[in-house]
Structure 1
Amino acid sequence: MEEVAPEDYQIVDGKVIISGSFEKYIVYASKPVMQGTRIRAISQIAGKTENYLIKGMREIPENGLNEKENMWDKVTILAENQDAMMISYQGQSPFIEKQLKDELNLSENVRIWHLEDIRSLGKSFPQISILLAISIIMIFLWIGSWSSIKNCKNNKFRISIYGGSVLFLLVIFQKITEKLALPSAFLPRQNIFELSYYQKELTEVFQALRQLQSTEALSVIQEFSQNSIISIIMIGIGAVAGVMLLVGRKWYRKRGGGMYEEKK
């Protein structure tokens, strides 16, 4: 694997050619490469036998990319129903949908997902929800600190508590972000925050999995559902914690104001 800066490659006839060797070019990419984008070149290797989900294939092709060898002879069909199929196959690593389609001689309208990528995406949901929860709490802390800043002279201790809390949460936020790794096959081509893309992809995936009703398919659905529930709970905890901070602050101010009035 190597990092390639924008000035170290060029696009010629749709091919990404790395400078210094016109024999070295990118065959498959996880998304379209535009000039000026930093890319990461990876040499594919034969991966271990893993499971893949296929949707939209009406019949098995006669041969794959290699006309002398039917690649489907190396495929084990684990489950199939209507236009969905789950297979076991020793593909290339890392997984690139276009590359596997060519290898198995599948048309462009057929979709393929690496089952491990689906599991990885589900496992990342709790991490994303923790980031959202932290963001919610930091927003409430910012709201709470804003009014204290107006009377900075008398609220130095409170402002330091708010500031220290935000700094601590930012450190946690950074640590989680560093460990968060979303499968590239599920990322939008342009905007990572394009929620409609994720919705469309997951709808297609779970439509195919529900059609199969195999043990493996049901296992993936169950894992994904559990991670989704955990994510909702984590976001809820963040929202409740944020509200409690504001309510607690208002209660503290009222209590403090009452004590002050009694002393006067």
Structure 2
Amino acid sequence: MPELNERYYVACGASVAGTRHIRDQIPCEDAWAKAILPGALAIAVADGLSSAESGGKGAEIAVNTSVGTIADALMADKDPDISNLIRMAAGKGRENIERDACLNGVEISSYATTLLVAVLTNECVVCGHIGDGACVTLSADIASVLSLPGPSEYANETAALTGKNWESQLRISSGTGSAVICATDGCQGAIVRRDEGSFIPYNPFIVPLVRSLESYISEGRDLNLEISDLLTSSRMQALSSDDMTLAVGFCLPGEPF
């Protein structure tokens, strides 16, 4: 039997175009990225704002920069302040977006995107979140909400990493669990539901999702493809016409297959 501290980490996800984008022949403007390290993982999801000309590119830069920055820092420092690390990663993502915008001679607002970053370790789960989307954790078979969509002053408006007030909009939350699930707003309704005015985790979706992914590992199945197939199913597509991104990270006892 493996020792309790012998764990390995798995991260998987997918971004798919929503029905509105398919109808209008617009590429998916969501993005996700992952980094798996000894004793930790980082995942990020982002939704490029449809009102921004290069929102999809902004989302891609944001997630790749964020997880890359976190991975580099975790490799260099085995006991970092993860909350500060996430703040630094988001800032680096914004810097890289601004650099790309300058190279192309456009305003940074053309790259407007949300950002949700989660780091899972043996001790905790920490999330940094700007804009809409949602993040939940799973411990045994009990799901908990870690981060909810940010407040909006106007309908169909959300905070963005590219905004001047991005630092005050960045919400940091922490919890515990053996799995973390992140979603952009297109499929956030699958992992959180409203109940008497409050958001609660939707266990009938979360628990089977994680348990299925765990079992698929031993079967040698492509977990990213499994999530992509889920997101393009009629059940999920009925949730929203928007692009959808779902990313899942979890740890298991023993050695990787």
Normalising TM by the smaller chain, what interval? under 0.3
**Which structure's residues are more often helix, by fraction?**
1
- TM-score, normalised relative to structure 1: 0.19
The structure whose Rg is larger is 1
- TM-score, normalised relative to structure 2: 0.20
The structure whose RCO (Cα within 8 Å, separation 6+) is larger is 2
